[in-house]
Amino acid sequence: MKSQTCCFTGHRIIPQHDYATLQTRLEAEITRLIHQGVRYFGAGGALGFDTMAAITVLKMKVLYPYIQLILVLPCRDQAKYWNGEDARTYSEILCRADKAACISEQYDNDCMLRRNRHLVDHSQHCICYFTGRKGGTAYTVDYAARKGLHIINLAATFD
């Protein structure tokens, strides 16, 4: 199953002027991977790129009903302090996902790190939106590279 799995990682903030192009490239890469036999798409449920990726997979299930969105959440109450619109979007994604797993019942200092490692450890491919900024995305992309995943950085195409 690992060979048929792709995870997503990326920044929470996506510049508005990059959004449409990023969306188009994300759809193209997901389609390409589906045609190569990828069936499972893992997302961490965070704001920003994770949300964009999850919504895109759900949208693409219309054309490819056999693909699955698997959410790997850092903790059950991840969206507890999110604003109304973000919380509603998160709830809809959660309801429509094929599977959802929580790394921890409650937030703790390393539940997001464990979530990111889990996504990478169970994937062969990683589609990311990584602009070079430090943080969780940088760590996850580096970890994926060390684990030998096929990495597709959609931010690299904006240079």
Residue 70, beta-bridge partner list: 42, 99
Per-residue pLDDT at 130: 96
**Architecture in CATH of 2-158:** 3-Layer(aba) Sandwich (3.40)
List, run by run, the mean pLDDT of 10-residue segments along the chain (159 residues): 96 93 97 98 97 98 98 94 95 97 94 97 98 92 98 81
**Quick one: tokens of 54?**
């999850």
What's the order of all strands across the beta sheet hosting 125-129? 99-104, 68-75, 40-43, 5-10, 125-129, 150-153
Sorted by where each begins, the domain ranges of the chain are 2-158
Residue 100, beta-bridge partner list: 71
Question: Terminus-to-terminus CA distance in the chain, angstroms?
Answer: 34
**CA-closest candidate to residue 11, choices 52, 42, 55:** 52
Check if the beta carbon of residue 77 is closer than 8 Å to that of residue 106: yes
Q: Which residues of 95-125 are buried (b: 16+ CB within 10 A; e: fewer)?
A: eebeeeebbbeeeeeebbbebbbbbbeebbb
Give the global pTM. Answer: 0.95
